[in-house]
Amino acid sequence: MPELAEVAYSCSLWNEGLGIQIDQVITNPTSRVYRNENRKEFIQNLQGQTLSSSFTHGKQMLFSFTGNCWMGIHLGMTGSLAIEEKEYEPQKHDALLFRQPSQILVFRDPRQFGRLRLHLGKNKPKWWNDLPTSMLDKNFHSEILSNALSRHARRPIKALLLDQRYFPGMGNWMADEVLWRAKLKPSNLSGGISKIDEGRLFKQILFVVNGAIKSVGKYGGDPPTGWLFHTRWKDGLLCPKTKNPLIREQIGGRTTCWCPSLQK
């Protein structure tokens, strides 16, 4: 269920394993989450090491281990992290397990759109350092939005918000939430957004990102009451603001929920 806030929460679950040695590494022999990585290297390099720190950036997670090892996790569409009891038996879709003395850290992903990567070296991997400015960073300025809007003038604004090069961590429900709050129709072309609308849009990006981190990111579960999130997949589908019917349609390749009487 992973957008930036769920990723932050997932990552925090594994923090129980920080500072503890990993006695055994178990890799799923068939899961696609390994992509081009070599499973043996996970075992050879991580077994016996201690999980030393964790980081998130948008939908990306990075873990560091003693012995100059790093591991990246992307949760894809259905990935999740969990802590299980030490008696736990690996299940079909468990992609990676770290056995510690009193618990097991699990990364599972039934649909296998997630991704694991290993990096050896003193410093963080290049792919991590190359990530775009985080939406939680003070350097995430409105210029990033204006540049994206002008560069992709022919893309629907909904599709642009999902572009991880500009808005790392933004996912389908967050983008709908942002556009609903900014009162913008998701199919509007990016190039046609006025400066006034752009200002509102930027503010709502910050509002949704920070609000999600404070709620979902901290405690898991759902965003606060009153957010569009709670109505977006339910039938009946009334806008929390206008009480008018919501619409679901395919925009930018993704199902999009919006309120025609509110968003222009």
Per CB under 7 A, residues contacting DNA are 1-3, 6, 32, 59, 74, 76-78, 92-93, 110-113, 151-156, 159, 162, 164, 171-173, 190, 233, 248, 252-255
Least distance from DNA to the Cβ atom of residue 20, Å: 28
Q: Strand, helix or coil at 30?
A: coil
Write out the two tokens for 219: 């405690």
User: Which of 151, 183 has the CB closer to DNA?
Assistant: 151
Least distance from DNA to the Cβ atom of residue 153, Å: 6
Least distance from DNA to the Cβ atom of residue 179, Å: 14
DSSP state of 247: E
DSSP state of 34: G
Least distance from DNA to the Cβ atom of residue 102, Å: 28
Show the beta-strand stretches assigned E in the chain. 24-27, 51-57, 60-65, 69-74, 80-85, 94-100, 103-108, 115-120, 247-251, 254-258
User: Which of 67, 253 has the CB closer to DNA?
Assistant: 253
User: Which of 103, 164 has the CB closer to DNA?
Assistant: 164
Calculate ∠ Cα 2-4-5, nearest 5°: 90
Write out the two tokens for 229: 């999130």
User: Which of 64, 190 has the CB closer to DNA?
Assistant: 190
| CA proximity to 174, closest of 126, 196, 206, 142 | 206
**For the range 105-109, what are the long-range contacts, defined as Cβ-Cβ under 8 Å and sequence gap of 24 or more?**
105/14, 105/17, 105/22, 105/51, 105/81, 106/81, 106/82, 107/33, 107/73, 107/79, 107/80, 107/81, 108/79, 108/80, 108/82, 109/31, 109/33, 109/75, 109/76, 109/78, 109/79, 109/80
Least distance from DNA to the Cβ atom of residue 36, Å: 9
Cα 101 to Cα 22: distance, rounded to the nearest angstrom: 8
User: Which of 22, 239 has the CB closer to DNA?
Assistant: 239
Least distance from DNA to the Cβ atom of residue 121, Å: 21
Cα 224 to Cα 62: distance, rounded to the nearest angstrom: 28
User: Which of 121, 253 has the CB closer to DNA?
Assistant: 253
Least distance from DNA to the Cβ atom of residue 89, Å: 16
Write out the two tokens for 208: 């949704």
Least distance from DNA to the Cβ atom of residue 192, Å: 12
Write out the two tokens for 170: 């933004």
